[in-house]
Structure 1
Amino acid sequence: MKQGIHPDNYRMVAFKDMSNGDTFITRSTVNARETEEIDGVEYPVVKLEISSSSHPFYTGKMKLVDTAGRVDKFMNRYQKHMDSKKK
């Protein structure tokens, strides 16, 4: 690994999901204006609009798009095109 390319100012930072209120703590170099006390320790807080705890893909609440109708419609048009070429 190259020397001198990684920042030295890593610290513990709390990331707060504003859509559901979940908070997780990890190391980061991000600048934060606000702080919050969690379990008796003061952490800089970064507010997030969405995180893995509220994103529909990770929570299983993702809407599935019905593509079968679209594929069938395409196949029908493609088959008609191929049939017209054979004549």
Structure 2
Amino acid sequence: MRKGIHPEYREVVFRDAASGATYKTRSTMNSDQTVEWTDGRTYPLVVVDISAASHPFWTGNQRVLDTAGRVERFRQRYGGNERPRKK
């Protein structure tokens, strides 16, 4: 790798804003905030909106969409109460 063109790769702590979960990893992210980790060292703190700790796919807390209501609104707006016939 060429020197001086790549961002610094270092250990940082990510905090999920939705759940409050924190985890230490390596990243090139920059931050003005810092946090003291369990090993007693201070690391840059990066706050993220969503992570695996709060994402619906990983937590299993997915929202159920009202698909029947959406279909009815579509039919009211554009007409057509019957389904297209197969040929």
Whether TM-score is above 0.5 comes out as yes
| Aligned position for 1:73 | none
TM-superposed CA distance for 1:65, in Å, is: 4.1
**Counterpart code for 1:32:** S
| Aligned position for 2:83 | 77
CA distance in 1, matches of 2:7, 2:84: 59
CA distance in 1, matches of 2:54, 2:33: 22
* Seq. identity, %: 41
| Aligned position for 1:62 | 62
TM-superposed CA distance for 1:63, in Å, is: 2.3
| Aligned position for 1:11 | 10
Q: Which runs of 5+ in 1 are unaligned?
A: 71-75
TM-score of the aligned structures, taking structure 1 as reference length? 0.68
RMSD across aligned C-alpha pairs, in angstroms? 3.0
TM-superposed CA distance for 1:19, in Å, is: 1.2
CA distance in 1, matches of 2:7, 2:60: 37
CA distance in 2, matches of 1:61, 1:67: 18
TM-superposed CA distance for 1:41, in Å, is: 1.2
CA distance in 1, matches of 2:50, 2:37: 20
CA distance in 2, matches of 1:18, 1:64: 23
CA distance in 1, matches of 2:65, 2:21: 29
Judging by fraction of residues, say which structure has more helix.
1
TM-superposed CA distance for 1:7, in Å, is: 2.4
